[in-house]
Amino acid sequence: MLPTLRLSRGIAAAPVSRRFLSSSVALRKAPKSSDYDDSPRNPVDIETLKSDVVWGGSETQTPFYAKESYLKLKETVIKSRDPPAVIDAKYTRSFRLGETYNPFDFTLTKVAMDDIAQKNVKMVDPFAKTGIDPMNLYLMPDILSKFLTSTGQIKSRFDTGLSRANQRKLTAAIRNARSLGLLSTVHRTPRYMPFRNM
């Protein structure tokens, strides 16, 4: 049975816990000061402070129901989550400050026109621009690997942008490097191969 708290007026209050009783006794034994109110605290006020109504919840809703509704909400969010949509860069545009735009810029016709214009851009032959002979690169497999696919096939002129003569010289240099064992026939040099961090 819980002990009752005796107030200074001699009236017994509602039953209280031992913890509350010990804390109220400690308060009564504390030294008095001019601004300190030494009247004992009402246990009913403490119980009111502990109630869910004061802290924003309703008395009918217990934490169990709150937890259950949270778990249901979490489950529906996980089930309904779609993979993130990946939007190709050609369908989005970035504008600079003060730049004007036309609604036509956001149509698929404009995207198709941009694709055609990009294909028609003439690629510059890097060997003709620098004056390097591709035949002299057969001892440099790292450079030759840039002109190979991931499976070791030689890229076409459409991809490399080389002239016909330089494409033939590059092909001969790659074959020479393969015959010397410097370049693999099935992949690029190990420097350009994908790897996993274990």
Same-domain status, 115 and 147: no
Q: Which of 156, 134, 151 is nearest to 188 (CA)?
A: 151
Average pLDDT over residues 95-124: 85
Same-domain status, 111 and 136: no
How many domains is the chain built from?
Answer: 3
4 - beta bridge partners?
15
User: Residue 101 is part of which domain span?
Assistant: 89-120
pLDDT digit string (tens) for 149-178? 988 999 998 888 899 999 999 999 999 999
Q: Which amino acid is at 122?
A: K
Could you tell me whether strands 12-15 and 4-6 are parallel, antiparallel, or unpaired per DSSP bridges? antiparallel
pLDDT digit string (tens) for 48-63? 655 555 555 555 555 5
Same-domain status, 97 and 154: no
Does position 15 have pLDDT exceeding 60, yes or no? no
| Residue 138 included in any domain | yes
Q: From CA 78, how far away is CA 72, in angstroms rounded?
A: 10
Q: Which of 68, 71, 47, 51 is nearest to 59 (CA)?
A: 51
Here the tokens at position 98 are 């003060």
Q: What is the pTM of this model?
A: 0.42
